[in-house]
Amino acid sequence: MSTLISRNPATGEIIQEIQLTSVESMTEIFERAQSAQKQWANVPAKKRASYLLQLREVLVQRADELIDIISRENGKPQFEALSNEIIPSADLLTFFAKNAPRVLKDQRIPLVLMKHRRSDLNYWPIGVVAVISPWNYPFLLPFADIVMALVAGNAVIFKPSEVTPSVGLRIQDICSEAGLPPFVLQTVIGTGDLGAALIDKKPGKIFFTGSVATGKKVMEAAARHLIPVNLELGGKDAMIVLPDADLDYATSAALWGSMSNSGQICASVERILVHERIKEPFMELLKAKIRLLRQGPSVDGRNDIGPITLEKQKSIYSQQMEEAKAKGATFEIGGEFSSDRRYLAPTLVSGQEIEETSIYQEETFGPVAAITTFKSVAEAIEKANHNRYGLLASIITKNIPLAEDMARQLEVGTVTINEVVYTAGLGETPWGGVKDSGFGRTHSEAGLYEFVNVRHIHKPRSSWLYFKSPWWFPYTTFQYITFRLLLNLYRRSWVEKIKIFPHFLWNFIQFIKLEKRL
């Protein structure tokens, strides 16, 4: 197979036939990237940041074209392509254009003991980084990593998902149109074998977003070359609805959190934990809102939920639903595929018996939510944490102080209070998980530091203020006594410290005088 065929998941129509990147060409691609990166790294950070503003202008100008290809190739509604991918991308460009030069400047480390010396942190590019991205947010997720990598001075080799390659190529197009130097960003098209070849070329770091299973393979391959990795993997995210919650607000949050992008979001609300006192009214109102969702092809803004993007994901839905039925779960609504199996009806499953089944414990990645109840806050926290994933959790309540206390007990990378999902699109805030949801962060200042090496520079505070360090050879009894006095200055009692300090200071001065005479 020398070409890859991109199709619309709603209709099956061919969008584009794309030439595959050969494994043999990866050597040349890397050599070009390495050469381009050396020149790009020498461009001042402020000038690299100004490039992001030009890229933002191109993004806005070509927004309609980008929205169209995202919607057609991924299947999501055009409004979601705009609101969940293009606008967050523009916001991210704005944040890093403004803040990256400051974040990447050398930073001084205050020294407590060695006042005569100075330490600075110096940030420098990793080199050539690999960005391997998924199909569910085919624009925003890779674009964010690419932007951060570029503004930090790296070159990027980008492999988009084979399910959404056309979107990946559009990212390459707009970056080139905005004036990015040749070969600083190169997009390669292929399947798993190309990803393996990409890793074998030993990039400076790998940024992978995708499933846990594939993430483990990436990490295993990277380990053979000691390549650092940043992994943003799956989630089985819980929403906790406390008894004081406004039901209209809570059900609307649950609806969008679980069903947007057909539930194909790592941060999707897949587990809903509702206080037993409000379960029934919550359930009835949520079902009523689900019935109003318009499911169908994403054309002209006439739908709320698009098709299932990935064919093999449908077997996971089937397996999980069959297991839940066998365990006695109640299917409150949905649970059926359309006649052409392009769509799964929005599905709500309930029952305490499902808590140890795959539909409650394993990532579904579809328009399915499982509901159980809890009696106390402690029980809710325990149930939310009883999962191998740790990406995001949300809490719906009017009691914000209580929610903040709960948030500090949840084993996840992000907790949203009276909100769901969307912080994954904020440029200012870090995104990433714990446990099987991966490690490392993207977005925010913390995320930008993932794209640089850190160098510590230690030097005298001035060209004249330096002397031989008092711990150098030869060791003497006087030296030992001086350092023993120094140790006593770490005692808790200020009285003791004050008594000791003059003796230490006298010894230290004598030591320096002796060193200068030598």
**Non-local CB neighbours of 57 within 8 Å, separated by 6+ positions:** 178
**Non-local CB neighbours of 507 within 8 Å, separated by 6+ positions:** 478, 481, 482, 485
Count CA atoms closer than 13 A to 60's CA, side-chain side.
10
Show the 3-state SS of 2-70.
CEEEEECCCCCCEEEEEECCCHHHHHHHHHHHHHHHHHHHCCCHHHHHHHHHHHHHHHHHCHHHHHHHH
Q: Are 440 and 230 in contact (CB under 8 A)?
A: yes
β strands within 389-501, DSSP E: 389-390, 392-396, 414-417, 434-435, 438-439, 452-460
76: amino acid identity, one letter: K
CA triplet 270, 68, 347: central angle to 5 degrees?
Answer: 20
Phi, psi dihedrals of residue 347, rounded to the nearest 5°: -125, 135
Look at residues 309, 213, 252 and name the one whose alpha carbon lies nearest to residue 6.
309
In the set 80, 232, 270, 332, the catalytic residue is 232
Active site includes 266?
yes
Look at residues 455, 448, 509 and name the one whose alpha carbon lies nearest to residue 478.
509
CA–CA gap between residue 85 and residue 70 (Å, rounded): 9
Show the 3-state SS of 209-263.
ECCHHHHHHHHHHHHCCCCCEEEECCCCEEEEECCCCCHHHHHHHHHHHHHHHHH
CA–CA gap between residue 411 and residue 390 (Å, rounded): 6
N residues, the chain:
518
203: amino acid identity, one letter: P
**Both tokens assigned to 117:** 């010396």
**Both tokens assigned to 394:** 């949300």
**Non-local CB neighbours of 120 within 8 Å, separated by 6+ positions:** 106, 107, 108, 109, 456, 457, 459
Look at residues 375, 1, 340, 383 and name the one whose alpha carbon lies nearest to residue 190.
1
Q: Using CB atoms within 10 A of its CB, is residue 21 exposed (0-12), middle (13-18) or buried (19+)?
A: buried
Residue with tokens 């205050």: 110
Residues classed as catalytic: 232, 266
